[in-house]
Chains A and B, each alone.
Chain A
Amino acid sequence: MSRITKTLILKDIKLNLSPIILYLLLGIFSLWLLTSSQLGVFNTGAVILISMVIISGIHMITTTVTTERNDQVLPFVMSLPISFVQYTHAKICANFAVFLSFWLILLVGLMWVIFGQPQVPDGMAIFTLILMLEMLVMFTLLLSVALVSESQNITVVVMSITNIGLSLFMFWLSGFEAINSFMQTEQVVWNSTAITFVAVELLLVVVLLALTYLIQARKKDFI
C-alpha cells in the first residue's frame, strides 16, 4: 500500500473519529445492558447494539463517499497523485478498518455476554454470528453501491432496503429448524446449515468487493 493511500485512509478515519467513538461507547453500554437478567433491559441492549453497528457503517459510508461527492470535495481528492482505483482502495480500506474494528469489538463483547452470562443460552452464539456476518454483508453491499453508483439517492434506497432486509433476515434465519432448535440450548452446534450461512456470507463479502474493484477500474468518468 502506497504512502498516499495510507494518508487518505488515516484522513477519513481522523475526520470521523469523534462520532465513531460515540457509537462505540454506546455499543459497549448496550453490551452491559445485555448482561441484565430483565428481559426488557436485555432487549433494549440488543436494539441499541444492532443500531450502533448499522449506524456506524452508514455514517462512514455517507460521510466518506456520498457526502464527499455531494460537497464537491472529490475534485480536491482526485487532484492528488492517485488513480481512481487507488481512491477506491483507500475508501474501502478506511471504511472496513473502522467498521471491522467496531464490528469485531462488539462481536467479542457479544460472545462474552453469551458464554459468560448464565441467563443467555450458549446456543445463541451461532445465530448471533450469522446475524453479525449479515450486517457485514449489508455494510459491504452499501459501500459498493455508494462507490459504484456515485449517487446519494440510490445509496439511501439501498440503505432502507437493507435495514428492512435485516429484520426479515432475522425472521427467516430463526425459521430454520437447524438453527432455531439449538438457540435456546447450551449447545453450540455447527451443523451444515450454519456452516453454509457463514460460508455464503463470507463469499458475498468477497464477491461484492471484487465486483466493486472491477467496475471502478472500468469506469471512464471519475468525477
Chain B
Amino acid sequence: MSDFAFQMHQVAKQYPHFQLQNIDLQLPNGGIMGLIGPNGAGKSTLIRILMGLIAADKGTTEVLGHNMPNHQALAKVNIGFVSEDMRLYKNATLQWHMDFIQRIYPEQWNQKYAVSLLSKFDLISEQKIKGMSHGQRVKSSILLMLARQPKLLIFDEPTTGLDPVARKEVLNEMMVVLNDEDRSILFSSHNTQDVEQLSDQITFIDRGEIVSSDDKESFIENWRRIRLHADSPLTISVDQHVKEVINQGRNTTLIMHQFNESMLRQWTQQGAVVKGVEYMSLEEIFVAEVEAKRSGVAA
C-alpha cells in the first residue's frame, strides 16, 4: 500500500490553447490539499487526469497505488468525485440515484449515514433532480459520494454557485469528514476562504503550472505585509524577499516573502517608521505568489 493518496510525476498535457506542464504533486494518505488557481489555471484538467478521465501526454500518475488512467476502474472503487459541472439524471429522483449507487457499491454504501445526510442537507429523497435548486443538486451529489465512504475524496469547485447557507452546510459536512484521518481530500477552488478553512496543505496553480505547494502554516508564516511611513521617498526595489512595492505618498506598503524582523532595519535606517507588520490572508498570498511567478521573480 502506497503512503500517498496520489502522486503525479512530471505530468504534462497539451491542448491547442493551453498546456499543463511538469506537474509534480503528491498528497500523503490522510492529507487535505487545497488546490487554488484562477479560472482556466488547469485545476480541472489536473483533477481529470487524477480521475483517469484524461490521459496525460507525459509523466506518471498513481492514485491509491493504481496507475492512471490504465487502472482507473480499480482506483475509482475508492475515489469519490464531485465537480461543479457534474449533473445527475434530471428525470430521476434522489432516491433512485441512492439505490443506483448502492447497487454499484453494495459493500461500501452506508444507508444510515445516507439518511442522516438527507436530513442534514435538508433534501427530499423522492424529489426529482430537475426540480432541485443548484445548491440541492450539489448537496445531492455530495451525499451520493460521502455515503459510500471513499478513501480519497476529490472536489472540483464544489461550492461554486452556492448560496451562503448551502455553502456553509457543504463545508460543515466536509469538515466532519476531515475528522476521519484515514481519508484524503483534494479540494479545488478559486475561493481561497473555503480552501483555507479546510486544507492543511495548499497548492497554487496558474497557467498550467504549479506555482507553489506547501502546508498552510508555512504559507501564512512566510508572507507579511509591511506598512512603512517616511517623510522622504524610500528607495526599495523588488528582490528575492520584497515581492511588491506600493507607494502612496509618504506611505509605502511592501509585500514580503520569507520575512524576518532583521529586514526592517534597512528601512528604519533610511528614516522609515514601521506602522505595521501584518499577516496576509491566503487570497493575498495567492495573488502575490501568482504575480511573482508571472513577473519571473521566484517566490
Establish whether residues B54 and A223, one from each chain, have CB atoms under 8 Å apart when the complex forms.
Answer: yes
How long is the Cα–Cα vector from A71 to B73 in the complex, in angstroms? 23
Establish whether residues B76 and A79, one from each chain, have CB atoms under 8 Å apart when the complex forms.
Answer: yes
Chain A interface main SS type: loop
How long is the Cα–Cα vector from A89 to B227 in the complex, in angstroms? 63
Establish whether residues A81 and B141, one from each chain, have CB atoms under 8 Å apart when the complex forms.
Answer: no
How long is the Cα–Cα vector from A75 to B154 in the complex, in angstroms? 13
CB-nearest residue of chain A relative to B90? A71
Establish whether residues A222 and B53, one from each chain, have CB atoms under 8 Å apart when the complex forms.
Answer: yes
Question: Given A73-B89, A75-B85, A82-B76, does the pair A220, B104 have CB atoms closer than 8 Å?
Answer: no
B279 on the interface (CB 8 Å rule)?
no
CB-nearest residue of chain B relative to A223? B53
Establish whether residues B104 and A80, one from each chain, have CB atoms under 8 Å apart when the complex forms.
Answer: yes
Establish whether residues A220 and B86, one from each chain, have CB atoms under 8 Å apart when the complex forms.
Answer: no
Cross-chain contact of B54 among A79, A83, A86, A222 (Cβ < 8 A): A222
Cross-chain contact of B86 among A76, A82, A86, A222 (Cβ < 8 A): A76
Establish whether residues A71 and B87, one from each chain, have CB atoms under 8 Å apart when the complex forms.
Answer: yes
B51 on the interface (CB 8 Å rule)?
yes
How long is the Cα–Cα vector from A81 to B89 in the complex, in angstroms? 18
Establish whether residues A220 and B100, one from each chain, have CB atoms under 8 Å apart when the complex forms.
Answer: no
CB-nearest residue of chain A relative to B48? A223
Establish whether residues A81 and B54, one from each chain, have CB atoms under 8 Å apart when the complex forms.
Answer: no
CB-nearest residue of chain B relative to A219? B55
Question: Given A11-B100, A86-B73, A223-B48, does the pair A78, B87 have CB atoms closer than 8 Å?
Answer: no
Chain B interface main SS type: mixed
Question: Given A7-B104, A81-B76, does the pair A73, B54 have CB atoms closer than 8 Å?
Answer: no
CB contacts (< 8 Å) of A4 on chain B: these are: 104
Within 8 A of A (CB), among B22-79: 48, 51-55, 57, 69, 72-77, 79
Establish whether residues B55 and A221, one from each chain, have CB atoms under 8 Å apart when the complex forms.
Answer: yes
B112 on the interface (CB 8 Å rule)?
no
How long is the Cα–Cα vector from A28 to B76 in the complex, in angstroms? 44
Establish whether residues A81 and B48, one from each chain, have CB atoms under 8 Å apart when the complex forms.
Answer: no
Establish whether residues A79 and B86, one from each chain, have CB atoms under 8 Å apart when the complex forms.
Answer: yes
Question: Given A76-B141, A223-B48, does the pair A82, B83 have CB atoms closer than 8 Å?
Answer: no
Min CB distance, B75 to chain A, in Å?
A: 8
B274 on the interface (CB 8 Å rule)?
no
Task: Sort chain A's interface into a size bin.
Answer: 20 to 34
Question: Given A4-B104, A75-B53, A221-B54, does the pair A81, B74 have CB atoms closer than 8 Å?
Answer: yes
Within 8 A of A (CB), among B106-137: none
CB-nearest residue of chain A relative to B53? A223
How long is the Cα–Cα vector from A70 to B69 in the complex, in angstroms? 23
CB contacts (< 8 Å) of B73 on chain A: these are: 81-83, 86
CB-nearest residue of chain B relative to A10? B103
B92 on the interface (CB 8 Å rule)?
yes
B91 on the interface (CB 8 Å rule)?
yes
Min CB distance, A112 to chain B, in Å?
A: 35
Most buried by B among A7, A79, A80: A79
CB contacts (< 8 Å) of B85 on chain A: these are: 72, 75
Min CB distance, A4 to chain B, in Å?
A: 6
CB contacts (< 8 Å) of A223 on chain B: these are: 48, 53-54
A15 on the interface (CB 8 Å rule)?
yes
Establish whether residues B72 and A83, one from each chain, have CB atoms under 8 Å apart when the complex forms.
Answer: yes
CB contacts (< 8 Å) of B100 on chain A: these are: 7, 11
Question: Given A80-B76, A220-B54, does the pair A75, B83 have CB atoms closer than 8 Å?
Answer: yes
How long is the Cα–Cα vector from A7 to B69 in the complex, in angstroms? 22
When each residue 199-239 of chain B gets 1 if its CB lies under 8 Å from chain A and 0 otherwise, what string results? 00000000000000000000000000000000000000000
7 contacts between A and B (CB under 8 A): A11-B100, A71-B90, A72-B86, A73-B89, A76-B86, A79-B51, A222-B69
Which B residues are within 8 Å of any A CB, using their own CB?
Answer: 48, 51-55, 57, 69, 72-77, 79-83, 85-92, 100, 103-104, 141
6 smallest CB-CB distances across A and B, nearest first, come from: A79-B81, A220-B55, A81-B76, A72-B87, A75-B86, A223-B53
Q: Other than the known A73-B87, A222-B54, what 7 A-B pairs have Cβ atoms closer than 8 Å?
A: A72-B85, A81-B75, A81-B76, A82-B73, A83-B69, A83-B73, A221-B54
